[in-house]
């Protein structure tokens, strides 16, 4: 796909800077320092790193050739120009000139000071990062990593349900969930434990007393392999007919949407199924321009980022075997609060697999 992009743009090089998961996906090398990945139409597959990272990059990365900034003469230039940015720009420009580059492609988040320097010597085009679309379809190895994180979430959620017998504070429950996951080797931040009318805001993390129902949305990543999963349940703790009716509608919508997921179905077909069910049940949706009710997309891809491609909304993208994403309808009304049910699914040729299989209706009312 990357070489096809270079050919279609009549460009010689694509240059990616470190600091995000596209870089890690492309190189299989995680680095806290500045580094660059060069892919050339001439077969160049080059990772440039600080000298202290060269040995590790040679062992860990999937890139064919590793060079350090020292190898490319960066430090000699730095002694001459006294400015690190200028020395870096000159080093990279000389490398590109050596490969007879005339046009290069860079992603939107490429350092602007380098882009401006490149423009003095080459034609530069900013393109959507090609690794974003590559990441939408997962390998079997990636799916197993997401499955691993999903299993950890379900253990944490079981733990959270037990804690609800005594814990009645959103912040305390959040801290307990995140600590439990950390001890297991997973990093969870901003876990949503939202109750009462605050839960009408889909991304409110929640604070204060847990009331008649609580939304628990857990989305950690593994500290070992870095892949996320995402899972939400709404727990009924006391009588509230409006919330219960909303939750029943959301569960029906989610189940029907999941039953549709298979290779070849479009994202908007899945999304519209959710809207159809909720509207038939008398609720509002964003599809009809309402600001309460179902006010977000049906789902999003999950992988090295908790939100990535594909988007399950009003787009025409066809689902492909190996795509991993959430199905998470919700309803949100300021008068009563919100409900949401979310699972992660893997697209198969004739259906899908749910990686976060767990009961959808959870009622912990006493008495």
256-315: pLDDT as tens digits: 999 999 999 999 999 999 999 999 999 999 998 889 999 999 999 999 999 999 999 999
Pick the CATH number of 140-363 from 3.90.230.10, 2.70.70.10, 3.30.70.100, 3.40.50.2300: 3.90.230.10
Task: Kindly list the averaged pLDDT for each block of 10 residues, start to end, along the chain of length 367.
Answer: 92 96 96 96 97 97 97 95 95 96 97 97 96 96 98 98 95 98 98 97 97 97 98 96 98 98 98 98 94 97 98 97 98 98 97 98 85
Distance from chain centroid for Cα 81: 41
Q: pTM here? A: 0.94
What tokens were used for 50? 């600080």
What tokens were used for 207? 């604070």
Please tell me the distance from the alpha carbon of residue 160 to that of residue 165, in angstroms, as a whole number: 9
- 341 within 8 A of 267, measured Cβ to Cβ: no
Which residues partner with 66 through β-bridges?
47
Three-state DSSP class for residue 190 = coil
pLDDT at 367: 52
- 10 within 8 A of 105, measured Cβ to Cβ: no
Please tell me the distance from the alpha carbon of residue 122 to that of residue 113, in angstroms, as a whole number: 14
- 62 within 8 A of 28, measured Cβ to Cβ: yes
Q: Can you give the residue ranges of every domain in the chain?
A: 2-134, 140-363
For the domain spanning 2-134, the CATH number is: 3.40.350.10
- C-alpha distances in Å from residue 7, one per residue of 10, 16, 39, 100, 168: 5, 17, 12, 16, 59
* End-to-end Cα separation, the chain, in angstroms: 60
pLDDT at 1: 80
Q: State percent of the chain over pLDDT 90.
A: 97
pLDDT at 274: 98
Give the number of other Cβ atoms within 10 Å of residue 141's Cβ: 9
- 298 within 8 A of 311, measured Cβ to Cβ: no
- 118 within 8 A of 104, measured Cβ to Cβ: yes
Element (H, E) at 86: helix 84-98
* Helix 140-163 with 170-184: angle, nearest 10 deg: 140
Q: Residue 339: which residues within 8 A CB-CB, separation 6 or more?
A: 199, 213, 215, 234, 243, 246, 247, 250, 330, 331, 332
Please tell me the distance from the alpha carbon of residue 338 to that of residue 279, in angstroms, as a whole number: 16
- 260 within 8 A of 273, measured Cβ to Cβ: yes
Q: State percent of the chain over pLDDT 70.
A: 99
Backbone phi and psi for residue 210, each to the nearest 5 degrees, phi listed first? -80, 125
């Amino acid at each position: 796909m990357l070489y096809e992009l270079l050919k279609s743009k009549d460009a010689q090089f694509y240059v990616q800077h470190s600091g995000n998961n596209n870089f890690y996906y492309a190189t299989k090398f995680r680095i806290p320092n500045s580094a660059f990945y060069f892919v050339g139409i001439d077969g160049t597959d080059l990772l440039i790193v600080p000298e202290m990272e060269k040995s590790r990059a040679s062992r860990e990365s999937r890139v064919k050739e590793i060079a350090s900034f020292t190898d490319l003469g960066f430090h000699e230039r730095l002694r001459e120009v006294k400015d690190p940015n200028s020395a870096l720009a000159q080093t990279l420009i000389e490398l590109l000139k050596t490969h007879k580059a005339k046009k290069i492609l860079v992603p939107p988040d490429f350092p602007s000071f380098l882009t401006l320097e490149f423009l003095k010597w080459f034609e530069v085009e900013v393109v959507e990062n090609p690794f974003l679309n590559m990441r939408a379809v997962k390998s079997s190895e990636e799916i197993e990593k997401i499955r691993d994180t999903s299993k950890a979430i379900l253990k944490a959620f079981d733990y959270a349900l037990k804690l609800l017998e005594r814990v009645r504070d959103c912040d305390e429950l959040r801290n307990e969930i995140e600590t439990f996951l950390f001890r297991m080797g997973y990093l969870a931040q901003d876990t949503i434990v939202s109750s009462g009318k605050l839960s009408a805001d889909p991304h409110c993390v929640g604070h204060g007393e847990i009331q008649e129902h609580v939304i628990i949305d857990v989305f950690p990543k593994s500290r070992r392999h870095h892949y996320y999963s995402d899972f939400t349940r709404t727990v009924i703790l006391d009588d509230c007919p409006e919330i219960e009716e909303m939750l029943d509608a959301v569960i029906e919508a989610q189940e029907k949407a999941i039953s549709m997921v298979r290779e070849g179905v479009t994202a908007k077909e899945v999304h519209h199924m959710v809207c159809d069910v909720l509207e038939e049940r008398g609720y509002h949706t964003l599809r009809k321009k309402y600001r309460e009710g179902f006010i977000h997309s049906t789902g999003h891809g999950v992988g090295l980022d908790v939100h990535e491609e594909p988007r399950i909304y009003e787009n025409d993208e066809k689902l492909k075997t190996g795509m991993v994403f959430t199905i998470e309808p919700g309803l949100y009304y300021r008068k009563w609060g919100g409900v949401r049910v979310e699972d992660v699914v893997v697209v198969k040729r004739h259906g899908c697999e749910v990686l976060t299989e767990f009961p959808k209706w959870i009622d912990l009312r006493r008495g």
